[in-house]
Amino acid sequence: MARIEETQKAGIRAYPLCTPNRLTQSFTMKNCQVFRGSPTWHPLLLAADDEKLAAYGDPEIRQKLHEEVVLHRVAVPAAGYSRDWYDHMWVEEPVLEKNRALTSKTIRQIAEEKGKRVIGAFLDLAVEERRETRFMQAENNTDDAAMAKILTHPGAIVGLSDGGAHVQFHGGYGYSTRLLSEWVREKGVMTLEEAVRRLTFDSASLFGIYDRGLLRPGMAADIVVFDPETVRPLPEEIVHDFPAAGWRMKEGAAGIAATIVNGEVLLEDGKHTGTLPGRVLRNSSYRANGHTPRPPVA
């Protein structure tokens, strides 16, 4: 925030993008990206399945991993984990019935209960369940006091910038309903009116999309009708709706009666109406440079 304020004082338009979400990712050791960058672990993440299983059971490799990602005796560039990652990673869904008791326990807790080192406890479970154990990792945005300061910073823009790059690990687009539920209704860090403005007018204005962001005659009728007492994000779920039955994380919402796009009801009580009124948005700069929007394509 100090850097942003310094930059703005220099006359540079700079706006920090922040999310009210606690950044988490759901993964298995079949699609894990967490330990990329580790000299020993990184190549294993790219290896064939049988090579992975053999390596994860190798005492020599386990010792190297222990030194790299637990003792941190090796510098790891662009690591996807914190120094105490085992306190922020837990079992979300075990495969075997006998391991159900491990659900919601952190890797450190499991290691302490079993009298093992962190790497041993983690890899024993991954190997036993053929790398299909579902883990959850949460490292960012875990400090509520800091989050409140960031979200209420006058220059901050509430949103998300990911472009769907991690759809197998987390959704994240529930940031709007999380802002309205957790940070407005439950924690009271800002008023409902301020939160709505941040989610609508502030973003539209910043990006030069001047026909949206307000309920006013002549503006585009993009409207969300919600109940401030019940609106909230729903738990993420896995859906297989990509080509070749590929899967992604889906994050639904409760407390939203209708979503209206360009004056047409797109979603009503969580169900799609079959209409497709959305179009690519072009901002004022695009238009000012002589570009004209392409006609709608059915």
Residues 233 and 281: their CA atoms lie apart, in Å, by: 26
DSSP 3-state assignment of 243?
helix
CA 131 vs. chain centroid, Å, equals: 23
Other beta carbons within 10 angstroms of residue 112's beta carbon come to 13
Residue 56 structure tokens: 């994860």
- Cβ contact 266:272 at 8 Å: yes
Residue 62 structure tokens: 């386990």
Band (292; pLDDT cuts 50, 70, 90): low
pLDDT in tens, 54-85: 999 999 999 999 999 999 988 776 666 778 89
pLDDT in tens, 255-269: 999 999 999 999 999
DSSP 3-state assignment of 134?
strand
Other beta carbons within 10 angstroms of residue 164's beta carbon come to 9
pTM across the whole model: 0.71
